[in-house]
Each structure stands twice: as C-alpha cells, then as structure tokens.
Structure 1
Amino acid sequence: MKFRLGMFVNPFAGLGGSVALKGSDGVAEQALALGAVPKAHLRMAEALKVLLPYKNKIQILTASGEMGELVAKELGFHVELIYQTSHTPTSTDTHQVVEVLNQTEIDLLLFAGGDGTARDVYSVVDDTKPVLGVPAGVKIHSGVYGVTPKASGLVVKMLLEGELVSLMRADVMDIDESAFREGRVKAKRYGEMLVPAEPRYIQAVKMGGKEVDELVLADIAADVIENMEDELFIMGSGSTVAFVMETLGIENTLLGVDLIQNESLLASDLTAQQLLSLTESQSTKLVITLIGGQGHILGRGNQQLSSDLIHRIGKENIIILATKTKLKALEGRPLIVDSGDPKLDKELSGYYPITTGYHDSVMYQVAAPDELENEIRC
C-alpha cells in the first residue's frame, strides 16, 4: 500500500521577500520585474528529499508543471497528475487543486507557500483532511507549517515509519500586507486546519509519567460523547468502547455489538442481519477499538460488522478509539482490517485519526492483510 500524498507548490510564494516587497500577495509580477527568483519549489524539494528513502512507498498526487509535477519527478517520485494548468498559476489554481484533492483519497495534503497560501487552502479544504505546510513564504504566522522545510518532511517521515503523530487544530493566520508595507502589523486569525504535529506520547492526564488507564479512557469517552449527534451509533466490542457506554450509563455487550441513538440504547448484541435492517437508510457511525497486541479492528471478535454494513457506513464514518499505550505496543505495525472482503479491506486501508483522548488524536496506518504480506516479502 502506498502513502497517498497530495502535494502542490505555490510557485510565487516568498517571491517578494528578496526584493523588499514584504510579501507576494498581488505583487508577483512586480517582484519578478525587480529580479526576484522563484524558490518555493526548492523549499518543497528540501521537504521531499527527507522522503527519498521511502519513495517507492509514496504516490504523489499533484498539479502540472511548477505547481508540483516538476519537483516531484525531478526527485524520482511516483507522480499522478490530478490537475492541469496551461497558464501562470494563481490563487484560483490553488483553490481548484485543493477542490480536486477534496474528492480524492489522500493521506495528507502537503503544500509549499506562505500565509496567503494557507488561507487559500483553508478556504476550500475538507476540514477532515490533515494538512501540512512547507514554509516558503515571506510571512509565516500560521501554525500549519513546519519550522523548516526539512521539519515538514520529517513529520511525513514519522507517519511512514509508523510513529504516533498527533493531530491538532492549528491556526491559520495572515497579516494585511498593505499595512505591513506601511510599517503596521495587522494580523488576523482566519480559522483552523487539521495538522499532524510531532508525537505527544504522554497524555495530559498523567501519574508517574504513564497513562492512567481509567483517566485516559474517561478522556476518550468524553471526546466521543461530545461529538455524538442524533444519528445512529454502532458500538463495537471491546473494553474501550465499553467504557464509553458505561460513561453514558448504558448497559453494554462487551463481546457483542450494540446500537444507540441520542445517548439511549436501541438494541443490544445484534447480528449482522439485524444491523443491516436497523441501519437501513439512516445516517450511521461505527465506533470500534483494536485488539490489544494484535491490532485488528475488523474481523476479530466483531464479525457482526459485515462488509455490506461497512460499505454502507463508509470509511469516513468509522471512529477508532485506542489509548496511546496500546498503539505504542504495536511498535509501528499497522492496524488490520480483515473483513473477509479483500476489495473492501483495500478500500479501508490508509491513515486514520485515532481518538486517544479528549480533543486528542493521532494519525495511524490501517492496512489490509495482503498488504502486510507484501511488506513482509519485501
């Protein structure tokens, strides 16, 4: 299984810095006339060079020419063009590239630019997609960037190596360049994007530097319950999901599958056919956890979750819960989906946000059995 990296470059990012224009927004032509040389692609190259040892495991989905194709191909990466431009790129192209990536299965969106580019991405990106910036602009006030281009590459490298990489909401900031050129700093917060950060292996609630199971499970339960709306929730087997049910005050089937709505029990210990019948034509989410030490999330102890049901629910509606202690015990091995349907297992593969605490999640790989076998043979 390849890591699907959505990537693009704003070729004019940082262009105005070397010619004292204090930014590039709306002044690219002026900067070029003053002798500025585009360097954003070089910044992206710095990030991608960190990933060269893994290039056979990465599929880069990018835009044509200087918006990403050239730098990726020059470094020898596998490239899939998802957007074609025949003119000098503008912010409209950024919007359109991100719109295409919104409709595409990617594990991470990596872009090179400055605060203006971050604003453009924020304005259209699906807020469930992890995003990471490679700093290439004059102004880097937003928290969505690595501290250096290499640092951005190292975060992606950590994902590829199976390390726990926390997902955080980071601010998208920008300043008024017109005011800045007049010597006034006028910053504004535009919103937040989901960003992979360096791993935070230690929970906020601690004792002796280790996770305290009950307190961590309470944090996980609080996060799940806070995000419950009026749709149906299938509650899978396992002690972590059971703790969520206990927190709700609902009787739980530890080794079975229950159905709840509006924090009330609708049916318990359901069969595969019952689940299909009760969730037909209704918005449904699935809450599951992993088998400690093995990493299975589907196909071990929850065969009631049929491939037909999972197809109907959709990958985007699967909520995976785990403590960081359990994830670390896997030593970088991916979580496993073994639904009995190889095609579905492949579709479910990828990187998921795993809920590990209250407003705390990490990116972690999910793989199909045949993908694990291929990796072992390699």
Structure 2
Amino acid sequence: MHVGIAVNPVAGMGGRVGLKGTDGKVAEAVERGAEQRAPERARRALDRLAAVAPDAVVSVAADPMGESVVRAAGFEPARVVDPFEGDAPGPTDTTAAHTAAVVRAFAGLDGDDAADGDGPADPVDLVLFVGGDGTAADVAGALEGTDVPMLGVPAGVKVYSSVFAVSPEDAAEVAASFSRTERREVMDIDEDAYREGEVSPTLRGVAHVPVAEDLQSSKQTASGTVESLAEGVAADVRERDGEGVTFVLGPGSTVGAIKDELGFEPSPIGVDVWRDGEVIVRDATEAEILGALGEENVIVVSPIGGQGFVFGRGNPQISPAVIRRCDLRIVASRAKLDDVRALRVDTDDPDLDDELAGWVRVRVGKFETRMMKIV
C-alpha cells in the first residue's frame, strides 16, 4: 500500500476563535491567537497508521504540509513532494494551488502544475489528506479524471462532505484495510454566507472514496418540528435564572429554537452564553466562553443530523477545556435521531472522547427523552 499524505496546516484554525472557518481568514485567526489544529490531527492518524500498517509506503508533501509529522510518526518518506519551488513558506503560507500540485504529483500526473519530488512517481493507492471541506474540494479537483481514491482526516471547522473518516484514528484504520471504493460527494459552503447564518452546501465534485463503516454521511437537515422541545428546555433554563447557572448554548437550528423561546435572537451559527435571564456573551469564542463560566455550568447542544456528532463538527468553540467544566445536555428532534444510529464526539482530546462515550439521555420533547449511545 502506497499512501500520499497532504496536510492543510491552516485547516480548523478559525474554529475556536469564533471565525467559523479559515478561508480567507488566516491572518485574522492568527491575530486572535488561533493555534494550528491540523498537524496534531495528522499525527494521530499517522501514529495509528504506523501501528496497523507499519510496512506502508508513504509519500508526503514538504513542510509545512506534512513531512515532519510523517517522520515523527516513524515513517521514512518514499517521496517528498515540494510544491513551493524551493521557497521556504511559513507555517500558514500554503494555498489551494499548493494542495492541488501535491495531489497531482501523488496521482502521477505530469504537467506544469505538478510539484517536484524525489522518489517513486507512480500513482499512490490513496491520497490521505488532513483538512476540511475546502481542502476536500481542492483534492477532488486535482484527482478529477483519475481512479485514485481520497480519504479525509477531519480537521476543518465545517465538514459537510462524505469523504471524511469519523476520527483521525478511523482514517488510518480505513486506509490500512479498504479493498474497494465508491463514488461520494464533495460538498463545500460559502464561508462568508455561513458566518451570516446561511448554510447552503454546494456540490464541488464526486470522488472515489474507500468503502468503510467509519465514514460519515453527508450532513442532512432533519425534518420535524422542535417547538415543544424548545419550549420545555427554555422553561428549564428559566427555572435556574437567579441561581448563577451559566448555560453555553451551542449552534444550530434546534438550539436556535431554544434561544428564540428564551426571547433573544441567536447568533446565526455561533455559541451564545446565558446566565440569570440574559445573554452575557453572543457568538462567543473559546476564550470568551471560558471567561464567562462560573461554578455551575451547563452545555446545551444538538447533534448534527445525518452524522450524529455532538462535538467536533461546527462547534469547536466548545473545546475540551469548556466541556470539562460543564454538565452536558443533548437535545434533538425525534426525526433527527431517527437518521443516526449512534452519537459521536471528536473533541481533539482522545481521553475526553473516551470519557464521553457511553449511554446518554437525549431530550426529544417537552418532557420526553430517549437513550442514545455515544460511540
């Protein structure tokens, strides 16, 4: 097995600082104190790949797009592909063109935009990329017209495409064991519109992807109303007004209905913080949430329809540091839960993911609950 590794080092940087994406916002993310997420996600995948497929042949993009991470995981690259024409880029100075050049080289495509690199030029058996939907679209575009499959290690703020594994470790397991592929959709959204609350995924391509259980489905909008659910949860929140309980209200339409019921206009796709009858932070970043927490704190979130992710998709502001200081309340319509077999978490902290795993009670109505398992 020959795997080509490409890491988008800026993927996901905008999440915890409240930018809801990094497209065109890298400089602002850095100014807000954002830290890189993708290299650590890549290292988790590669550590697992080294454990389950130690004899894998690995080609990789030059730093900052993966070379050091590959070597740190114990692989000696068969080929290092340099898309930078000898220039030494900074850790966040990569572009979609760099990704496309690397992937075309992995696919054995010649041309002016193919990157230079030493080692085998035959097509890889799989392009394993680390990023979000934008990266997925770049990879799919570069592979268009080939049979080379692609698989994503999720690291972006938004992950709407069905070409990603559930977690970095799952990506490694799939890469090491798949025997066939299928065509799957690559979706992306306009991040500027997304920041204004408009979520309109656009088909960006169709790619060959390994067939495996540990791939997420595309995000779907769950049907059914949430009025009674919102009414019940809002009533519970109001009962705690005056007690100093801090509620961290996640993004999405379901929790948005709760915010409406509480009497305030929710930030479009952000996290709002409520305490004692008022919003104390709107569209909060991770740091703002941590600063607002008190002695008793409750997170209210809803899983993503079609995928079941409670944490790790669309709400990186609710970080491990926040989660560890809060009680968790999960809410969802019955229709949404009917679309998922289990709930999932991908917090960037494997120990926390393990702690969260198990059976949880999900509020599905004004009074009703349903037991679901976080796997």
Q: What is the TM-score with the length of structure 2 in the denominator?
A: 0.49
Q: Which has the larger radius of gyration?
A: 1
